[in-house]
Structure formats: C-alpha cells, structure tokens
Structure 1
Amino acid sequence: MSISLLLEMALSGDPERVAVVSEGTRLTTQELSDLADGGAGVIAGTGAEHVVYVGTGGALLPLLLFSSARAAKAFTPINYRLSAEGIQALIARLPKPLVVVDERYRDMVGDAGATVMESAEFVTAAKSAEAVAEFADPDDVGVVLFTSGTTSAPKAVELSHNNLTSYITGTVEFGAAEPDDAALICVPPYHIAGVSAALSNLYAGRKMVYLPNFDATEWVRLVGEEGVTSATVVPTMLDRIVTVLESGDHPLPTLRTLAYGGSKVGLPLVRKALGLLPHVGFVNAYGLTETSSTIAVLTPEDHREAHGNSDEAVAKRLGSVGQPVPGIEVQIRAEDGTVLGPGEPGELFVRGEQVSGKYTGIGSVLDEQGWFPTKDIATLDEGGYLFITGRSDDTIIRGGENIAPAELEDVLVEHPDVHEVAVVGVEDPQWGQAIVAVVVPAAGTDPDPEELRAYVRKQLRGSRTPDRVVFREELPTNATGKLLRREIVASLNDTATQTQG
C-alpha cells in the first residue's frame, strides 16, 4: 500500500474538512490533495530522483511527503539545526536530489543538490504545475530519515511505503476522529514522529495544527484557540508546559489526549502532569526510526491504574512504555541470543511489518527470522509491560560490574532537590569507569552531594552509589528530547583534564 492511498482515502471521506493549520495557512483535504498533485508535477519536471526538505515544517511537511509519494520518489526531511557543512554532507549522500528549503536556511544548503527551490517557490509552482499522480510500489522506499547520531555517525534509515502504511493502518482507525478533533504537532519534521503524525492524523480525519517553533506559552494558547483535542510532545516540552500550567489558570478543557515520548521522562514530572490535567488521557509512546514510529504504548487507562496504586508491581508500570502495539512482537535476549523471561534485562528485539531495519549503503540488519536489534536494554514484567533501561552503549562497567544508568537515575530523580539527572561513566584508573551523577537542582534548592550519594546508597547496593555528584544548570538534549550523554562525558573529561593540568 502506498502512502498516497492514505491521502486518497482521506479525500474520499471529507474533502472540505480543514486538514492543515500552520501559522497563516489553512488547507482543506481537497486543497492539500490538489497541491500534492501539482507538487508531484514540479518534482517530476526537475528529473530529481529524491526529494529533500530543509526547514521547520508546518504545512510543508505533509505537502512534500505526499507530493513525493505521488511522484514515486523517496522523501527526506533533514535536521535544519545542523551546521551548513553537516546539512550539505547529508544531502550529498542522496541520489540526484531536489532540495526544497525554507528561506531562512537557504544559505545553509549552498549549491547542494541537482535543483534547489525555496519553499515558497515550490508552493507557487505546485499551484500551476501539471498534476502527476503515480502510485509507487509498496516495497519501494517512501521515506529516508537520518538517525540522530547521538552515539555514532548518522545512518540513513530506509522506510518503505509498506512499512509506514502498515504502522498507520495497524494502529489508527480510518476516519475515527470527531468533526471537531484537532492535533497540535510540534515535533520536528525530520523526526519519525513528525512523519507519522502527518500520516496518522490525516488518516484519522483530524485537523493538524502545526507549531513549527515550540514555545510552551504559545502551545497552551493554541490548544485553546484551535480547540486542540490531542497533542504529542517530547520530555523537555512537557517540562516547560507543566511550568506554564503551574503559573496560571490554564484548564485546557478541549484537550483529551497528551502523548509523550522520544526519551525517558522522570516519574515526578509525569505525576505532576497527571495532577495538573486530571481530565486528560496520557500516553507514553516508544518507538524508533527503524520501526516507522511507535511499537509500544502505555495507554491512558494504564496511567490511571498505575498512578498511586498500592500494588507495587502495578504502580511501577507508570515508568514503563506499556505493551506492544498490534502487529509487533518483542523479545528480550541475552548476549548469547537466549530469549529471557520476565524481569531479566537484555537487548530488545522487535519484529513486524512496520519494522524496516534497513540502511542505505549497509542493507538490512534483520536476522534470519526478521527480528531487529534495537540496541536498547529492556525488561518485560509478568503482564507484558516493557521497561526501557537505556542504550547498550550507555552501560557503565565499574569493577567488572555492569550498571544501567537508569537504575540510579530513577532513584535520584525522586529526591525533592533533584529536577533532572543523568548518570554516566567516566574513565577511572582503579575501577575502569567511575559513576558520575550530573544533577540539575530543583528550583530554589542547593543539594548536598554527599546527601544525594547517601540517598542512593539507602536504596541500591553500595556498588551503585555515584562516585561523584556534579551540578549543572541544564542537561544537553537534542530537539527530540534525547539526552546527549556523549556531550556530558566529554564535558566531564575536559574538566578533569583542566584540573590535572
């Protein structure tokens, strides 16, 4: 099934429904479809083999996504926050691209690509171009996304039309949205969550309201002004939204569902959000670029059941990512490939139609049975709830003992003087690696490092106690809320070098 068919189905449902709201632009489903037909004509006219977008998104994302699909060309949105050198290096890895770029980033692109068009120029051309509507083979590559490269150089993940549409049709009911339903989208266009939001909301029949440049106060205002009923945010966004909600009377009566994901969220923040918005159904969504988006969900019902539950096993599930979505199988494996049972930590493997596991220049990394190695360390409980404890690369090896940073982070973040925390391993001549807890103090507090170390020691084995506690004003994250542990380790190593010098 081609991505194009999702738009065709939405068009058959209600062509005059407002599909996209982005700053000053409002498009009905019919207008979006007409522009996508013209956009496909523009793409075909350039002779390009690939379509690239560099910009903040908004209406341009669904337009280019469907224009590319109707031209039967793969589409790649690129991280506009990269340096000019970084952007041009990624473009150079794509075959004969047409580069569409927002005006403010035009200089960043340079002369890269067979053809470069500014976004406004592309839209204008699409309005008058001869329409093209070609259905790509379902097994053809529909979208190529570059990984964030937080632990290695970015890989180009190839997602086929079938991967993407399998996820949408397996998790979203066609036309299920109410007439007044609206989704507020503020995730970056180059992230899988941005791509899947455009596809899933259109398929469900939900108005898409874009906030290309996130601001918590503006987010709250748009929820009220556009009658937003659902939204998806990353952890740093949720933290700032909660701060705004705490500072004034913002009931957000239309909001019914708030999904968060992209990185681990501290339980104190989740509990605070649940308390501020008791009428809202919270969803924790976990997925990867290679899996076409979400593969596990902690539902609103799961949140309500776990929040404050007297049964420790049930209450603990508030820190899980829930259960696998339909069509997804999961396994936890030991290093020797043995499938592990409940409560045993190992690497998470996933399998399903929405899973690609294929990279440009590398090929498929699926095993013979179609399982994809996520590189995430995880456990399953007796009820099939999935807990992600970190990346395999993040494991700290201290004195020959493997230590998951999340184990300490989950304890420290519950201390009243701790707002955020990241635990990392740094080189140590005695232990191989020393455990360092990097803490962002709660507002108005001045934590004592030894008190925090003692707090951990009371709840975990002595070998899990941080060797050091250091304080920072904030933790480095990327635009999707992922903690940049490499930057923390580099900063700590630089500090140690300067001290020794």
Structure 2
Amino acid sequence: MNIALFLQMSADAAPDRIGLVCEGKHWSYAELLAGARGAADLIRKSGCTNVALLDESSAAAVMTLFGAALAGVPYVPLNYRLADKDLAGLIERITPAFIVGDIERVDRLYSSSDNQLYSRADFIAAAVEAGKTASEEETEGDGVAVQLFTSGTTGAPKAAILRHSNLVSYILGTAEFASAPEGTAALVSVPPYHIAGTAALISSIYTQRKILMLPAFSPEAWLELASREKASNAFVVPTMLSRIVEQMDKGDAPDLSSLRSIAYGGGKMPIELIRRALDLFPETGFTNAYGLTETSSTISLLGPDDHREAYESDDPKVQARLGSVGRPLPTIELEIRDEEGRAVPVGERGEIYVRGEQVSGEYRERSALDKDGWFPTRDAGYLDEGGYLFLSGRADDVIVRGGENISPGEIEDVLLTHPAIADAAAVAVPSAEWGEAVGVAAVVREGHAQPGENELKQLIRDRLRSSRVPEEILFTPELPYNEMGKLLRRKIKTMFSSD
C-alpha cells in the first residue's frame, strides 16, 4: 500500500474540503491531489532517483511528499539549517535528485547537471499546471517512501529509510480515516525534515484535518495563527512550548478556546513547564509522543487523562508519570535490556528495544534490526509497575562513575526543583579517581540570584545519594539545543575543563 492512497481517499471523499492553509492560501483536497499528481509527472520525466526538499514548510512539502510517493521515488527532506559543508555532502549522496527549494544554495554547494532544480514558487506553479492533465498512475509495492538523514554526533549522518509499509502501519495503527469533524484544524510548526513533520502531514490528511502550516516558528506567529484559524490540534517541541508559555505569561493571550489538543515530543519536557502549560490550557488535552525517525514517529504516548491524573494526584508514583512518555502503542512491542541483551525487571534501567510493523530500523548503509526484528533505540529508560516508560537519556549519555551507572536525567530533575534554576544538564567529566564524574551546567532563572555550588550539591545529596553529587558546576546563560529541542550534550562536555 502506497502512502499516496491516503491523499487520494480524502480527495475522493471530500474534494472541496480545505486540506491546507499556508501563507494565506487555502488548498482543497482535490487541489492538493492534482498538485501531487502533477509533481509525480514532473518527477517521472526528470529521471531522478530521489526527490529532495530544501525549504521551510509550504504547499511544496505536501506536493513533493505525495508526488514522490506516486512516482515511486524516495522523498528526502533536507535540513536547511546545516552548515554548507555538511549539506553539500548530503546533496552529493542523493544525486541525481529532483530538488525543490533553495536552488541557489544547491547550485553553489554542489552544482551538477544530473540534478533538476526548482524554486518553491516555480515548482508549485509547474505541479499545478501539470496536474491539469496528469496521469493517475501510481507505483505499488513496498518501496522506500521517505529517507531522512539522522543528526549523528560523530561521522557522516546515516540515511534512515522508511518504507511505505512502515508509514502505513503507523497511520493505520494510530488514526481512523476521515475521523476529524468539519472545521478540525492541525497547526504544524515543526520543520519538514523531521519525522514529526512528515508524520503530521500524513496523519492529518488521512483523518481529513485542515493543516495550518507555519513555515517559520515564532511564539507570536504561532499564537496568532492558532487564534485566527481556530486551531483544534497542534504539535510542538519542548522549546517551542516554552516560548509559547513565556509569551502568554507576558500577556499575549489570544482566543485559543478551539484548541482541544496539544501534542509534544522531540526532546525532554521539564516538569515545571508542562505543569505551567496545564494551568494555561485547562480545557486542552496534552499528549507526550515519544518516537524516533527509525520507528516512523510515535511508539509510546502519555495521553490527556494521564496528564491530568498525574497533575492532580497526591500519590508520588502517579505524580512522577508526568515526567514519563506514557505507555507503548498497542501495535508496538517494547523491552528494556541490559548490556548483555537480557530483559530487565520493572524499575531497572537499560536500553530500550522496540519491534513492530512501523519500525524500520533500516538505513541505506545497513539494517540495525537483530535476527528477531528488534530495534535498539540507543535510548536508555525503564518501565514502572504500571507500564509507563521513563527516559533516562541516550544510552551513550550514561555517566559511569567507579563502575556505577548514573542517569543524567535523575540529577537534572532534582536541580529543576530549585526555584532559581531554569535549566540544567548533567554530563560525564573526566575524573582521576572515578574514571568519570558528574559535571553540571546550569542556567539561572531570570530575576533570581545565582545559588551557591554547595547549596546545589546538598540538594542533590538530600534527594539522591552522594555518588550523584557533581564534582563540577558551571553556570551559563543558556544550554545548547538543536532546532527540535534536543539537548546537545556533546557541546556541554566541551564547556568543562579536562585538567
């Protein structure tokens, strides 16, 4: 089954229904399908083996995604925030490619007659024109639908591939066709090169939500668009939600009464931030979605009822679930394993392994699945007695002090309970005595005095134990995050002296 069938189904069922609002233009489902079919004709005629998007979100993202699917060619959205050298290497790897977006930059970085280039405006115009007479032909089978380059910390990025079967399995397991009532509108503000952006487009079209596309995020623009178009659903990353909350706390509070659901993911959500958001949006259901590129997006959910129950509970164990990523989807198998690959008991930390039809675990270079189809996520975590999954960071981020494994997350959670600490990160620092020790980088909350190091060390000693007390604490104006809200621990490590 081809993911393009989802757009065809919605266009057949409700051709005049608005499927996309972007930059002031409203596109019906029939118009989006015609544009995708026109794009497919252009792609076929080009002879290119990949379809790339180097651009912010726009109607071109929808047409390239589904046009590539109809033509049977992988869709490869590229990170336009990459440095020139890194981006040039990715373009070389996908040549010959049909590339839409910032073609001046493409031509400057990797000029090749094998690539066919279109600016955003020229592509949309050409696809719409070609769509008037386009073929309804489509490619069947289990080919590659999407290729996403991972943001690896070392070496060249791996090319993660998602087949049509993976994405179809995810959508069918999490959504119901045409289930969105008339007027339902999903605000999409994550970039197209992230799996969350791709999944949001496909699931919104399948459920027949109107997509409100925000090409470049700012809290002011997000609040204005959500209010003006009466958004009912939205997906944000933690850094986006933090800026939205901050903007609202400054007094910017438009009418958001239509906003029934906010999903978030892509990075760690501070407990105090989600508590404040629950206060600001008392009638809105919050969902924490945890997933990876290699798993076709979400594999576990902390739903709206879970959020409110944890927020209102007096039971510490239930309260703690506000910091979890919920329970695995019914279509997903999940295990926590130790370094020997053995499943560990409830409450014990280890590496998260997952299995299911939506799990690709496949790269252009190799497959990461074991012989039984399990994918090692490289994320560390544990399950509580209720089956709720708690993340402890990347498996490689674990601090090994004198042979004891220490999760950075447990230290950070304690530090964030201090009223003067706005953000904190724990990393491994070299130690002559222990091999590795704990180093902490902390951000002081605006309007508060910087707390003393001994005060913070005592806080950790009181809540945890002495092995978790940091050897080094440094204060910094801000912590480094990528655009999806993931903490860049490798950069934090360089902030500490190795003397």
> Same-fold call, TM > 0.5?
yes
Deviation at 1:292, TM superposition (A): 0.3
Deviation at 1:235, TM superposition (A): 0.8
In structure 2, the partner of 1:76 is: 76
CA contact (8 A) 2:368 2:375 kept: yes
In structure 2, the partner of 1:124 is: 125
Deviation at 1:109, TM superposition (A): 4.5
CA contact (8 A) 2:158 2:365 kept: no
In structure 2, the partner of 1:64 is: 64
In structure 2, the partner of 1:186 is: 189
The answer on 1:114 being equivalent to 2:115 is yes
CA contact (8 A) 2:232 2:260 kept: yes
Deviation per CA, 1:329-354: give whole Å up to 9, x if none: 10111111211121011111101100
CA contact (8 A) 1:417 1:442 kept: yes
Deviation at 1:434, TM superposition (A): 2.4
In structure 1, the partner of 2:208 is: 205
Secondary structure at 1:482's aligned position in 2? Answer: coil
Supply the distance in 2 between the matched residues of 1:288 and 1:370 (Cα, whole angstroms).
Answer: 16
Range with greater deviation from structure 2 (431-440 or 252-261): 431-440
**Which residue, out of 434, 439, 444, partners 2:442?**
439
In structure 1, the partner of 2:409 is: 406
In structure 2, the partner of 1:319 is: 323
**Which residue, out of 160, 164, 169, partners 2:163?**
160
Deviation at 1:45, TM superposition (A): 1.1
Supply the distance in 2 between the matched residues of 1:118 and 1:430 (Cα, whole angstroms).
Answer: 58
Q: Which runs of 5+ in 2 are unaligned?
A: none
For residues 276-425 of structure 1, the aligned pairs below 5 Å read 276-362=280-366, 364-425=367-428
Supply the distance in 1 between the matched residues of 2:260 and 2:361 (Cα, whole angstroms).
Answer: 34
Deviation at 1:162, TM superposition (A): 0.6
Supply the distance in 1 between the matched residues of 2:490 and 2:108 (Cα, whole angstroms).
Answer: 26
Number of aligned positions between the proteins: 494
Deviation per CA, 1:158-199: give whole Å up to 9, x if none: 100010011011101111111111011110110000000000
Provide the TM-score with structure 1 as the length reference: 0.96
CA contact (8 A) 1:56 1:102 kept: no
Deviation at 1:399, TM superposition (A): 2.0
CA distance 1:205–1:312, shift in 2 (3 Å): same
**Which residue, out of 142, 147, 170, partners 1:139?**
142
Secondary structure at 2:307's aligned position in 1? Answer: helix
Deviation per CA, 1:26-85: give whole Å up to 9, x if none: 211000000111111111111111111101122221111001011111110000001222
Secondary structure at 2:495's aligned position in 1? Answer: helix
CA distance 1:191–1:108, shift in 2 (3 Å): farther
CA contact (8 A) 1:357 1:372 kept: yes
CA contact (8 A) 1:87 1:108 kept: no
CA contact (8 A) 1:182 1:227 kept: yes
CA distance 1:89–1:240, shift in 2 (3 Å): same
**Which residue, out of 263, 272, 275, partners 2:276?**
272
Deviation at 1:477, TM superposition (A): 0.8
Deviation at 1:107, TM superposition (A): 5.3
Secondary structure at 1:420's aligned position in 2? Answer: strand
Deviation per CA, 1:285-318: give whole Å up to 9, x if none: 0000000000000000000111131112211111
Deviation per CA, 1:81-112: give whole Å up to 9, x if none: 01222112012112521111236745555415
CA contact (8 A) 2:227 2:255 kept: no
Supply the distance in 1 between the matched residues of 2:138 and 2:439 (Cα, whole angstroms).
Answer: 53
In structure 1, the partner of 2:491 is: 487
For residues 456-475 of structure 1, the aligned pairs below 5 Å read 456-475=460-479
Deviation at 1:152, TM superposition (A): 5.1
Q: Which runs of 5+ in 1 are unaligned?
A: none
CA distance 1:250–1:176, shift in 2 (3 Å): same
CA contact (8 A) 2:43 2:71 kept: yes
Supply the distance in 2 between the matched residues of 1:397 and 1:133 (Cα, whole angstroms).
Answer: 58
Taking only aligned residues, the RMSD between alpha carbons, in angstroms, comes to 1.5
**Which residue, out of 173, 176, 183, partners 2:176?**
173
Code of the aligned partner of 2:124 = V
Supply the distance in 2 between the matched residues of 1:138 and 1:205 (Cα, whole angstroms).
Answer: 25
CA distance 1:322–1:224, shift in 2 (3 Å): same
Secondary structure at 2:30's aligned position in 1? Answer: helix
Secondary structure at 2:161's aligned position in 1? Answer: strand
In structure 2, the partner of 1:452 is: 456
Supply the distance in 1 between the matched residues of 2:179 and 2:109 (Cα, whole angstroms).
Answer: 40
Supply the distance in 1 between the matched residues of 2:458 and 2:433 (Cα, whole angstroms).
Answer: 22
Supply the distance in 2 between the matched residues of 1:58 and 1:94 (Cα, whole angstroms).
Answer: 22
CA distance 1:320–1:309, shift in 2 (3 Å): same
Provide the TM-score with structure 2 as the length reference: 0.96
Supply the distance in 1 between the matched residues of 2:339 and 2:491 (Cα, whole angstroms).
Answer: 28
Code of the aligned partner of 1:330 = L
CA distance 1:170–1:138, shift in 2 (3 Å): farther
In structure 2, the partner of 1:236 is: 239
Secondary structure at 2:277's aligned position in 1? Answer: helix
Range with greater deviation from structure 2 (421-430 or 366-375): 421-430
CA contact (8 A) 1:54 1:105 kept: no
Range with greater deviation from structure 2 (233-242 or 433-442): 433-442
Supply the distance in 1 between the matched residues of 2:220 and 2:423 (Cα, whole angstroms).
Answer: 22
Supply the distance in 2 between the matched residues of 1:425 and 1:104 (Cα, whole angstroms).
Answer: 42
CA contact (8 A) 2:36 2:66 kept: yes
The answer on 1:148 being equivalent to 2:155 is no
Range with greater deviation from structure 2 (245-254 or 291-300): 245-254
Range with greater deviation from structure 2 (367-376 or 136-145): 136-145
CA contact (8 A) 1:291 1:357 kept: yes
Code of the aligned partner of 1:153 = A
Deviation at 1:431, TM superposition (A): 2.1
Supply the distance in 2 between the matched residues of 1:398 and 1:133 (Cα, whole angstroms).
Answer: 61
CA distance 1:447–1:385, shift in 2 (3 Å): same
Supply the distance in 2 between the matched residues of 1:133 and 1:332 (Cα, whole angstroms).
Answer: 46
CA contact (8 A) 1:32 1:63 kept: yes
Deviation at 1:250, TM superposition (A): 3.6
Supply the distance in 2 between the matched residues of 1:324 and 1:194 (Cα, whole angstroms).
Answer: 21
Deviation at 1:402, TM superposition (A): 1.3
Secondary structure at 2:358's aligned position in 1? Answer: coil
